[in-house]
Amino acid sequence: MQKINIGVVGTGFIGPAHIEALRRLPNTNVLALCEVTPELARQKADQLGIERSCTFEELLAMDDIKVVHICTPNFLHFSQSKAALLAGKHVVCEKPLAKDLHEAKELVELAAQTGLVNAVHFNLRYYPLVRQMKVMREQDTLGDVYSVMGSYLQDWLFYDTDYNWRLEPDKSGDSRAIADIGSHLMDSLEYITGLKTVAVMADFNTVHKVRKKPLKPVETYSGKMLQPEDYADVPINTEDHANVLLRFDNGNRGVITVSQVSAGRKNQMKLEIAGSKKTFAWNSEAPNEMWIGNRDGANESFMRDPSLVHPEARSVISFPGGHNEGFPDTSKQLFKEVYDAIAAGKQPENPTYPTFADGYRELLICEKILESNRKQAWVEI
């Protein structure tokens, strides 16, 4: 088997997650690592056991690198994805695809012109039971979708001393909680239900209107108490919490809540989809079990098991029932489908994985949600 050489750009939280998932596939070889300076790239490459370290320009010039994974802060996604496509590389980009719709549209069009494989890392749709719910809906087990309730809750920005580049609009964009984790939630809901969101009504809240930014890297203070003089007050204009009412193209309704200030919720995405035949409920912090609600019989608990799921869901399961799979496995399963396409040399006509077009779709929804919050009114999509 010929291995496909890969360059990864960025080594925050998600870059190493990509690398770990890629190393679990038989036909991939993470050959190069790119960072903002050659020194940092070498340091990170040594830590992660990667042969080459480089700048972004050096990476694009490497003829033997066939795929580039963009794992940098949001404001770099457009320029780096565009440059990689123009250099003839297949691209896997973190979400959001770009900072605005104009940039995203340009990437969708450029990717189509090149025919290169393009994917966005909406990995949460690769939990096996998320795909099982999708297939069950397609086979009419759920019935017509009556309503949708979803939430995505975290606590990593709970304190006013919690700080990260995502709090700075010039690096992350004008939305934070909705763009960061709400995009995963909306992608998963539309993926499972097959519905399109046609209108939104949003209400945002910034709980910490001023946050305390450390004046030195937080790692410097590991295990130590920060003093008041170690912080600078920074006004915050992006949302800590958001509620959004949804209208779907089948005439029915939904609601989502997204928060990054919910104590104790580390990374919980919850879905409840009520249909004319059954209700499905699922929680990402207990991803190997889904609840099936019935009106005229006992409710059911469906455990992730390749011998019980539909074949389309079985394809994203690697272990027998009772051997739990979780967050790291979602990236592996997404990349497995992406690299099947890369091995074939081009973007398939109907990709099973999320593409740049899906990235554009989520940016469109996010921008309409932002507009709705500004206007405090319903906005059509």
User: What CATH number is associated with residue 74?
Assistant: 3.40.50.720
Q: What is the pLDDT of residue 228?
A: 79
Residues 31 and 87 in one domain: yes
Query: By the 8 A CB rule, do 30 and 8 touch?
Result: yes
* CATH number of the domain enclosing 190: 3.30.360.10
Residues 110 and 171 in one domain: no
Q: Does residue 346 sit within a domain?
A: no
Which of 62, 86, 116 is at the close of a domain? 116
Q: Does residue 333 sit within a domain?
A: no
Which of 93, 116, 139 is at the close of a domain? 116
Question: What are the tokens at 109?
Answer: 């069009």
146-163 b/e (C-beta count within 10 Å ≥ 16 → b): eebbbbbbbbebbebebb
- Residue 141 sits in which domain range? 125-326+355-380
HEC secondary structure over 175-236: CCHHHHHHHHHHHHHHHHHCCCEEEEEEEEECCCCEEEEECCCHHHHCCCCCCHHHEEEEEC
Residues 107 and 223 in one domain: no
Q: What is the pLDDT of residue 104?
A: 96
Q: Does residue 345 sit within a domain?
A: no
- pLDDT of residue 248 exceeding 80, the answer is yes
φ, ψ dihedrals at 32, nearest 5°: -140, 150
Quickly state the pLDDT bin for 179 (edges 50, 70, 90): very high
Q: How many domains does the chain have?
A: 2
CA–CA separation, 247 vs 93, rounded Å? 29
pLDDT in tens, 48-85: 999 999 999 999 999 999 999 999 999 999 999 999 99
Residues 224 and 182 in one domain: yes
Q: Does residue 64 sit within a domain?
A: yes
Q: What is the pLDDT of residue 219?
A: 53
DSSP-derived secondary structure letter, 117 = -
Residues 142 and 97 in one domain: no
Which of 98, 116, 134 is at the close of a domain? 116
Residues 232 and 280 in one domain: yes
Residues pairing with 217 in the sheet = none
pLDDT in tens, 95-139: 999 999 999 999 999 999 999 999 999 999 999 999 999 999 999
The pairing of strands 145-153 and 268-275 is antiparallel
Residues 9 and 92 in one domain: yes
Residues 228 and 306 in one domain: yes
Q: Does residue 265 sit within a domain?
A: yes
Q: What global pTM score does this model have?
A: 0.94
| Residue type (1 letter), 298 | A
